[in-house]
Amino acid sequence: MNTACFGSGFASGSAIDLWRRRGQSTIEAAVTIPVIFLLLLLLLQPGIYLYDRVVMMGAAAEGCRLLATSEEVSGAGDEGCEQAIRRRLGAIPSQELFHVYEGECSYQIGLEGSEATERVQVTIENKLRPLPILDMGATLLGLTDSEGCLTCKVQVSLSTQDEWVAQGSLGLNPSGWANAREGTS
């Protein structure tokens, strides 16, 4: 038997080292993969919350524009404006992950003002359930209510007329604006 192949030979030493390295990478993967999933989970909840908030802000701003322009444009005043806001809120999926959905749209929408007032305001409020693991942390930090839900509230307030219109000496007559631009009265 040739003793050069066994013992302190190069071939047998590299096979053992390779086997040891495989074991090390398996252990590293067993530790790294759960950490990566946990980080993704931690990034998912704020992403969902911000998505909800952005859609709600857009819907509230659209509601303010509808209230400020005319009650008659949307059909039935506040009801038509609220329906338009709910259509915009339809961009948020009707799933527990995005908001508490109890068989119907559970958004609370508050409308204040009209074309005749100085300011209009739209408030939208809804709740969403935190993801597992994160719900414990949110509860410990006091971010959840008695039901264990996070509250997402958006409030947009706009003036019905720009300052230059309200404070202008030209009045509210658009023909006066056109004449002032041309230099005639």
Please tell me the least confidently modeled range out of 101-115, 126-140, 163-177.
163-177
Q: Smallest Cα–Cα separation from 151: which of 67, 56, 87?
A: 56
More confident residue, 5 or 99: 99
Confidence of residue 58 (pLDDT cuts 50, 70, 90): very high
Q: Is 89 helix (H, G, I), strand (E, B) or coil?
A: helix
pTM of the model: 0.68
pLDDT of residue 172: 57
The Cα diameter of the chain in Å comes to 117
Task: Scan for tokens 């719900």, then name that residue.
Answer: 135
Tally of residues, the chain: 185
Residue 120 φ/ψ, nearest 5 degrees: -125, 150
Rounded to 10 degrees, the C-alpha dihedral 126/89/57/160 comes to -110
pLDDT of residue 113: 86
More confident residue, 53 or 171: 53
Percent of the chain with pLDDT over 90: 18
Question: Does residue 4 surpass a pLDDT of 70?
Answer: no
Alpha helix stretches (DSSP H) within the chain: 10-69, 78-89, 134-140, 163-166, 174-182
Q: Smallest Cα–Cα separation from 124: which of 112, 137, 134?
A: 112
Distance of CA 68 to the CA centre of its chain: 25
Q: Smallest Cα–Cα separation from 64: which of 163, 162, 157, 161?
A: 157
